[in-house]
Amino acid sequence: MTRACGGSAGVDWQQRADVVVIGTGVAGLAAALAAHRRGSRTVVLSKATETATFYAQGGIAVVLPFTDDTVEAHVHDTVIAGAGLCDEDAVCSIVADGARFDESAPGQWALTREGGHSRRRIMHAGGDATGAEVQRALDHAAATLDIRHNHVALEILHDGSAVTGVLVGNADGIGVLHTSSVILATGGLGHLYSATTNPAGSTGDGIALALRAGVDVTDIEFIQFHPTMLFDRNGSGRRPLITEALRGEGAVLRDARGESVTAGVHPMGDLAPRDVVAAAIEARLRETGDECVFLDARSIERFGERFPTVTAACRDAGIDPMSQPIPVVPGAHYSCGGVGTDVYGRTALPGLFAAGEVARTGMHGANRLASNSLLEGLVVGGRAGREAAGHAYSAGAPMAKIQPAQRVALDRGRVQQAMTRWASVVRDADGLNLLIDTLDDAAPRTMVTRADMEDVALTLSARIVAAAALARTETRGCHHRGDFPDTDPAQAVPVSVHGTVDGGVALVEPAVPVAR
């Protein structure tokens, strides 16, 4: 039976836990394992079995000993990619912790290199199936934990000064998990757009949960578009990624006339940073009116062996990458910003932690360096788990009160259409204002189902992306403004957004209401 969670309506079930983790990707499971090892009664919620972690292709960026690599070099590459907005202390802390992974597993690693890295430091598995192996290993390690699939976190409950629980929807209706420690590990928000490399559950839920609990979100205008997502005229939702390692191995980007897409755009040509290549493709498509460009990978030897995931995705779409160029377009891929945390995953609300793609530690700044996200999820996830366990013991067991949960939402099709049209690879003020006008049509919605929660989260996430993108009147990292094509040194500061009591959003500095 399901029941609306509005007003003072009762709930269908209530339970207690020391620590509740929301998410079963790399960050959630790393956190849950760490909390469990500290002796905490840990419950892990997931609305689905699919994670972005599973789909990771490239690998994990790690500095290994006895190589020519150093923590300083990895920090340097990360900070350069972040275009002036990384928190260098956070980067140092996370990269240095990642460099200890090998201590428990010495051996010979097959390292590769990706865009922006000055060394071969990307650990990978199964050719281009790294994420599947990471997910498999974590699932195996977490097999004895209390993991509950098809459980949707609808609301973080708090008493104004600390977390008291989580409101959850499942097959038994609406329930409350009373707890003093909650870890958001809900992943990204790629489904703000009509097509994305992200799995179906990447709908910005953690962003919405945090904002509604009074926690600010930072750097959210920096959404990384991967230049090469497999194109299909009728394709929407999750679309296969065509890894940039193909370009590293010699594949070239051409338009329908056979002209190079990146010649004259950047000295590194097709291997320029992701945002540069994505913007070059977007510009070429506008110029020619074509629907896609092509990645010609026919020169790569033993293609099927090195890139089994890409080969399978192409074959599913009726393309043989060994004899045909692959049709590609830029696709929404990664949220560089998110819920503001320190490097231990702590947010401004005592008892609320965040880790993985949903969080903003300061590691990625304005642009994430390839393969740094699995690293961040593992390191900060583990730390957040330990912190949450410690907090649970010091805070004791709270009794949560149910809070009203009627929110506004627009149907996701409209959000996705508007975001795709006005807040994609290149944005400008006219488009962003039209986006905000569209989002103003959002109507009250009582959250009962997963779909309700996701529509509400997508609508709120779209609002804050629009607000932050409008406020940043420059081009920096993966935020490209058509009307402000240059980087403005005076804007080398993060933009933060908070939720207002009436359900709107406002920029923290200056505190100007941006969406009506």
Ligand X SMILES: Cc1cc2nc3c(=O)[nH]c(=O)nc-3n(C[C@H](O)[C@H](O)[C@H](O)COP(=O)(O)OP(=O)(O)OC[C@H]3O[C@@H](n4cnc5c(N)ncnc54)[C@H](O)[C@@H]3O)c2cc1C
Q: Which is nearer to ligand X, 188 or 431 (CB)?
A: 188
Least separation in angstroms between CB 120 and ligand X: 15
- Strand 13-16 relative to strand 173-178, pairing: parallel
Residue 147 or 402 having the CB closest to ligand X: 147
Nearest-approach distance from CB 360 to ligand X, in angstroms = 12
Contact between 334 and ligand X by CB under 6 A: the answer reads yes
Binding of ligand X by 201 (CB under 6 A): yes
Q: Which of 38, 121, 212, 274 is catalytic?
A: 274
Please list every residue from 22 through 61 that binds ligand X, using CB under 6 A. Answer: 22-28, 45-48, 51-53, 55-60
19 binds ligand X (CB under 6 A): no
Instruction: Considering the complex, state which of residue 131 and residue 325 has its C-beta at the smaller distance from ligand X.
Output: 131
Contacts of 107 by beta carbon, 8 Å cutoff, 6+ apart: none
Number of other residues whose CB lies within 10 A of the CB of residue 100: 12
Stretch that binds ligand X, among 88-96, 182-190, 280-288, 433-441 (CB under 6 A): 182-190
Minimum gap (Å) between residue 60 Cβ and ligand X: 6
Q: Contact between 293 and ligand X (CB under 6 A)?
A: no
| Minimum distance, C-beta of residue 449 to ligand X, in the bound complex (Å) | 11
Site string for ligand X, 144-173 (x = CB under 6 A): --------xx--------------------
Q: What phi, psi does 76 have (nearest 5°)?
A: -60, -50
- Taking the complex as a whole, how short is the minimal distance between the CB of residue 128 and ligand X, in angstroms? 8
CA torsion sign for 337, 342, 343, 344 is negative
Taking the complex as a whole, the smallest distance from the CB of residue 56 to ligand X amounts, in Å, to: 3
Site residue total, ligand X (CB under 6 A): 43
- Residue 226: which of 424, 427, 473 has the closest Cα? 424
Going by their DSSP bridges, the two strands 163-170 and 173-178 should be labelled as antiparallel
Provide the 8-state DSSP code for 257: T
CB nearer ligand X, residue 231 or residue 334: 334
One-letter identity of residue 147 = I
- The answer to whether 129 and 308 have CB atoms below 8 angstroms apart is yes
Q: Please report, as residue ranges, which positions from 231 to 270 form the binding site for ligand X (by CB under 6 A).
A: 241
Strands 496-499 and 217-218: antiparallel
Q: 219 vs 94, 365, 451, 474, 501, CA distance in Å?
A: 18, 7, 26, 14, 22
| Residue 367 DSSP code | S
Residue with smaller CB distance to ligand X, 153 or 292: 153
Residue closer to ligand X by CB (options 130, 179) is 130
Q: Contacting ligand X (CB under 6 A), which of 116, 165, 187, 494?
A: 187
354-383 binders of ligand X (CB under 6 A) = 356-358, 371-374, 377
Give me the residue label for tokens 């994305």. Answer: 196
Contact window for ligand X (CB under 6 A) among 181-189, 246-254, 473-481, 504-512: 181-189
SS3 228: strand
The span from the CA of 95 to the CA of 10, in Å, is 46
Alpha carbon separation from 166 to 22, 151, 381 (Å, rounded): 10, 11, 19
Q: Which residue, 319 or 447, is less far from ligand X as judged by CB?
A: 447
| CA separation for the pair 346, 8 (Å, rounded) | 30
Q: Whose Cβ is closer to ligand X: residue 51's or residue 180's?
A: 51
User: Closest residue to ligand X, Cβ-based?
Assistant: 25
- Min. distance of Cβ 186 from ligand X in angstroms? 4
Handedness of CA 471, 477, 478, 480 (dihedral sign): positive
CA distance 159 to 157: 7
CB of 86 to ligand X, least distance (A): 16
100 classed as catalytic: no
Q: Could you tell me which of 111, 105, 38, 28 has the C-alpha nearest to residue 356?
A: 28
CA proximity to 252, closest of 296, 306, 204:
296
Q: Which residues are catalytic?
A: 274
Instruction: Point out which residues bind ligand X (CB under 6 A).
Output: 22-28, 45-48, 51-53, 55-60, 130-131, 152-153, 185-187, 197-198, 201-202, 205, 241, 334, 356-358, 371-374, 377, 453
